[in-house]
């Protein structure tokens, strides 16, 4: 008597007209498969009498005890604070961290999500900078859970990731401060406006009308951009009396270059940045900055990811917001008279 042929996952895939990975998603009830396709696969399983290999399924949920952290640029003094907080939170739970530098490049951010499984990690924490158009779509299709540290752009509310962000525009605090201390010709120094766009929006929204001659857009968020911005503002016939720098590295470049040019900070021009990275206290004068709660945000993003990994949980994604805080230092002081912004 001939033995009945054992039905395999390949047989199910052929019967349903899908790939093996799709059958696996249907069996394991994971994301990345439509309801219609899932129903077709389950019907094929029932008709063929396929019995999934439970030992193979158990391999699927075996953890590597590693997570990945994708950041824009480790050279930015703010990023080590984030990386340290992630590493410490992960270490506390017995996890190691694989770090990836995307350099704020759209293609690299997308490739990180596409290839994250090849790193043999259980999840990904991502701090996007470029925010490419297909970012959310790839997050939603990811085969590992993702936590997003979100600075600078409103994400689709239905994105399938835990998101830790700020409760309002950090740039708003910069502009309110500069206006309140009597600065009337406020300039902006940053990188391309489609990167961390919320910071530029705060500048626009705080003014009756933007004087484009007071806007300097460099190539990146480095000290070099700050140097270039200082040279540009110094060359203007009507020099600004304050600069809102879109991050602290640019602010540091501004302060150092203004000193070389003989422009006094804050007497001639006030400078305020964003990030509150440690280097702002090492300059002379020390630089006012908005803290975006990097340590707290990174720690919570890690804890949310690890909890999702441990519970093998899908859905019910968390949305947590922190309040940014203005730290006033020597680089911005109040005028002795009240001024109307023009």
Residue 213 and residue 124 share a domain: no
**CA 293 from centre of chain:** 13
**Ranges 27-31, 62-66, 93-97, most confident:** 93-97
**Residue 58: inside a domain:** no
Give me the DSSP letters along 89-146.
Answer: HHHHTT-EEEEEE-TT-HHHHHHHHHHGGGGT-S-EEE--SS--TTHHHHHHH-SS-E
Residue 154 and residue 225 share a domain: no
Residue 161 and residue 142 share a domain: yes
The mean pLDDT value of the chain amounts to 89
Cβ distance 66 to 87 under 8 Å?
no
Task: Give the model confidence (pLDDT) of 215-241 as tens digits.
Answer: 999 999 999 999 999 999 999 999 999
**Residue 1: inside a domain:** no
Residue 185 and residue 146 share a domain: no
- Per-residue pLDDT band for 18 (boundaries 50, 70, 90) equals confident
Cβ distance 174 to 274 under 8 Å?
yes
Return the higher-pLDDT residue of 314 and 170. 170
Residue 99 and residue 74 share a domain: yes
Give 148's DSSP letter: E
- How many other C-beta atoms lie within 10 A of the C-beta of residue 292? 24
Residue 286 and residue 176 share a domain: yes
State the pTM of this model.
0.75
What's the total number of domains in the chain?
Answer: 3
Residue 198 and residue 176 share a domain: yes
Residues of the domain holding 216: 170-291
CATH code for the domain of 41: 1.10.260.40
Residue 81 and residue 131 share a domain: yes
**Residue 57: inside a domain:** no
**Ranges 26-40, 286-300, 321-335, most confident:** 286-300
Task: Give the model confidence (pLDDT) of 268-327 as tens digits.
Answer: 999 999 999 999 999 999 999 999 999 999 999 999 999 999 887 777 899 999 999 999
Residue 127 and residue 39 share a domain: no
């Amino acid at each position: 008597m001939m033995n009945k042929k054992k039905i395999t996952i390949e047989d199910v895939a052929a019967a349903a007209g899908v790939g093996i990975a799709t059958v696996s998603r249907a069996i394991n009830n994971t994301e990345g498969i439509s309801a219609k396709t899932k129903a077709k696969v389950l019907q094929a399983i029932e008709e063929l009498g396929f019995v999934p290999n439970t030992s193979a399924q158990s391999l699927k949920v075996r953890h590597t005890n590693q997570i990945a952290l994708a950041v824009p640029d480790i050279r930015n003094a703010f990023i080590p604070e984030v990386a340290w907080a992630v590493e410490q939170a992960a270490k506390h739970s017995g996890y190691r961290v694989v770090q990836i530098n995307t350099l704020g490049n759209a293609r690299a951010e997308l490739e990180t999500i596409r290839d994250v499984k090849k790193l043999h990690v259980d999840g990904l924490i991502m701090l996007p900078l470029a925010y490419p158009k297909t970012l959310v779509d790839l997050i939603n299709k990811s085969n590992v859970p993702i936590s997003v540290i979100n600075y600078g752009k409103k994400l689709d509310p239905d994105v399938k990731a835990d998101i830790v962000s700020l409760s309002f525009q950090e740039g708003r605090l910069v502009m309110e401060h500069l206006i309140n201390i009597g600065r009337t010709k406020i300039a902006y120094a940053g990188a391309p406006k489609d990167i961390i766009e919320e910071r530029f929006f705060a500048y626009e929204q705080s003014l009756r009308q933007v004087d484009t001659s007071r806007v300097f857009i460099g190539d990146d968020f480095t000290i070099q951009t700050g140097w270039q911005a200082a040279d540009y503002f110094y060359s203007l016939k009507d020099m600004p009396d304050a600069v809102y720098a879109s991050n602290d590295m640019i602010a540091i470049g501004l302060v150092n270059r203004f000193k070389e040019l003989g422009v006094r900070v804050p007497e001639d021009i006030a400078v305020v940045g964003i990030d509150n990275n440690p280097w702002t206290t090492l300059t002379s004068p020390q630089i006012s900055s908005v803290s975006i709660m990097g340590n707290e945000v990174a720690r919570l993003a890690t804890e949310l990811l690890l909890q999702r990994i441990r519970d093998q949980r899908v859905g019910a994604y968390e949305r947590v917001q922190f309040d940014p805080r203005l730290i006033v230092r020597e680089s911005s002081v109040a005028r002795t008279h009240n001024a109307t912004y023009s």
